[in-house]
Amino acid sequence: MDYLADERKKAVFDVDSMKIVWAGSRQAFEVSDRISKLVAADPGFRKDDRPMLPRKELFRNTLRKAAYAWKRIIDLRLSEEEASRLRFYVDEIAYTDLHWGMFVPALKGQGTDEQQAKWLPLAYKMQIIGCYAQTELGHGSNVQGLETTATFDADKDEFVIHSPTLTSSKWWPGGLGKVSTHAVVYARLITDGKDHGVHGFIVQLRSLEDHTPLPGITVGDIGMKFGNGGYNTMDNGVLRFDHVRIPRNQMLMKVSQVTREGKYKQSDVPRQLVYGTMVFVRQQIVKDASCALSRAVCIATRYSAVRRQFGSQNGGSETQVIDYKTQQSRLFPLLASAYAFRFVGEWLEWLYKDVIQRLQANDFSTLPEAHACTAGLKSITTSITADGIEECRKLCGGHGYLCSSGLPELFAAYVPACTYEGDNTVLLLQVARFLMKTVSQLGSGKQPVGTTAYMGRLEHLMQSRCTAQRAEDWLKPSQVLEAFEARAAKMSVSCAQNLSKFSNPEEGFAELSADLVEAAVAHCQLIVVSKFIEKLQQDIPGEGVKQQLEALCGIYYLSLLHKHQGDFLATSYLTPKQAVLANDQLRALYAKVRPNAIALVDAFNYTDHYLGSILGRYDGNVYPKLYEAAWKEPLNESVVPDGYKEYIRPLLKQQLHSARL
């Protein structure tokens, strides 16, 4: 029985068309739909017992699933896209994520043609398994502070990789602890006593015969991490080198090289090419944010429609929790954010391709802007998603705290994204530096490009004032864009003016860093809003689809305006009365989305297997399934608990003095 059938009948748009919009194309939808059902129907990919397994058993089960997934990929002759979707829907964080997501892109992005010809076929067939060993015990965000050394020995034509201090131990790389046979290791390149900074090296860690660590290598797992299941399926590792020798040709040499004579030189390939890999990884992280947030929102939305509390009149049904405005005001902005992040992720995919084309043509003009843009978007999307998953757990009340809700494990597995590939606050400070540089160059006639193009209209934006006189005026894209542009521009200019008062710019930057982060957030939120609005200017087929996306877009930007009302008022762009009008319009949009909420999360097209949540079941049959799941708890295998005779009975019988405690 479908307990959510009545909710689904309320929808005023074509859900199947929205599924295609969410997937990006009909072809992408068909691949995702087919592969997700294939995974869901395969008992080999069962995961409902994951939070109950001890770490060793959990990890062994992950190894089994990764091997089984690879077997299925080969047996079914899946394409690269299909294989990627299969790994996604298996939904098990594993060493393969780092192999395909970091090790292979590093080889492609930083290896020469000869190096790629040697190493990539082995990696593609998984005859070697790789990880990305950059972070150390003592340094994470400050890559230039890494301590591992790679000293060139000209007599033997080899590099000597060494960990000179305890803090130089590689610490955190996924896949390193127990599985990886090879790593791209980042170390300080030293030739003739001169330090050339951090470079990448391909280093074999374990024997390909019996998997034992090679001489000079100490390697292991760093221990349990936050939460049940979660990221504990991954073998995050510690690695130390004791004068480990590798051939010279295992330095990644696409950008810079060391000759046979020990001379360090730049290659003909521009150094900026390395940024291409960074843009690729960060755009993938933004897409992952939309997936994780949409998953949490799907669970919370369905359960909010199932759950009823209070409001019973004359013995009738209680009120659905989703009908409470307090629930809507917390839930619907997250639903809107999931769609917003999806569309900005699509745009980042285009940006990555554009950056690569430009780099190949030796055009570096858009690179600083692309770098700042991807850094900022990685930061705000992962922060909002991590906080949003936790908010969805709270929106599910007490039952959200159960592992069977799927939300605690989703949170534990997702939250590291706020730190890896750049700490979110550090990334926003990088964006702020770029914004300060952009403001400082405006007087020189250098026109800002891409997502900072609005800065070219600074004079107008500094003087502009909101013209909204009715609540509906906040539905006009031009009105909204100008509001977010004026806020971002004024906050950046204010920071620049305050910075100019310091004789030492770095001192000023440190002192004003909190304000600078806020200016960076304003700029990044503008990007997401503008890309959502741009998406709506495209031809979007399907009855009622565009209207629902317009409502979600409105909820996205008006909820931001409400949350950051102080910024908009402090920059004098709008009046308190106009802020009230914006809030009136936001409430009206909640009412418009409410009957379509279940259909909007159905459009994500997630199977019950992928969601991994009793609360988020497609059929809404929550309570019987929660009751059923309780009896699967290992504690319930015996009626009288282990330890009764030793600890409970002596307490009840007042015999603790003779108990063996």
Distance between CA atoms of residues 43 and 505, nearest Å: 60
Nearest Cα to Cα of residue 555 among 342, 326, 395, 329: 329
Please give, one letter per residue, the 3-state secondary structure of 133-152. Answer: ECCECCCCCCHHHCCCEEEE
Distance between CA atoms of residues 117 and 272, nearest Å: 22
Contact 184, 130 (CB under 8 A): yes
Q: Is 230 annotated as a binding residue?
A: no
Distance between CA atoms of residues 177 and 175, nearest Å: 6
Distance between CA atoms of residues 505 and 133, nearest Å: 34
Distance between CA atoms of residues 342 and 326, nearest Å: 25
Residue type, 453: A
Q: What is residue 218's three-state secondary structure?
A: strand
Distance between CA atoms of residues 92 and 50, nearest Å: 10
Of the chain, the end-to-end C-alpha distance in Å amounts to 52
| Cross-strand pairs, 256 | 266
Contact 409, 230 (CB under 8 A): yes
Burial of 116 (0-12, 13-18, 19+ CB in 10 A): middle
**Residues 6 or more apart whose Cβ sits within 8 Å of residue 321:** 303, 304, 305, 307, 308, 309, 327, 397
Distance between CA atoms of residues 544 and 541, nearest Å: 9
Tokens of 429: 């400070």
Distance between CA atoms of residues 487 and 526, nearest Å: 9
Distance between CA atoms of residues 521 and 524, nearest Å: 5
Nearest Cα to Cα of residue 384 among 584, 554, 556, 532: 556
Q: What is residue 12's three-state secondary structure?
A: coil
Distance between CA atoms of residues 537 and 549, nearest Å: 11
Distance between CA atoms of residues 562 and 38, nearest Å: 43
Residue with tokens 């409001």: 311
Q: What is residue 206's three-state secondary structure?
A: strand
Distance between CA atoms of residues 422 and 596, nearest Å: 37
**Catalytic-labelled residue, pool 136, 421, 485, 518:** 421
Contact 12, 629 (CB under 8 A): no
Nearest Cα to Cα of residue 297 among 344, 253, 241, 338: 338
Contact 403, 391 (CB under 8 A): no
Positive or negative, the CA dihedral 19, 24, 26, 31 is negative
Clarify whether 421 is annotated catalytic.
Answer: yes
Positive or negative, the CA dihedral 46, 48, 51, 53 is negative
Do strands 217-221 and 237-241 pair parallel, antiparallel, or not at all (unpaired)?
A: antiparallel
Q: Is 451 annotated as a binding residue?
A: no
Known binding-site residue numbers:
135, 174
Active site residues: 421
Known binding-site residue numbers for FAD:
135, 174
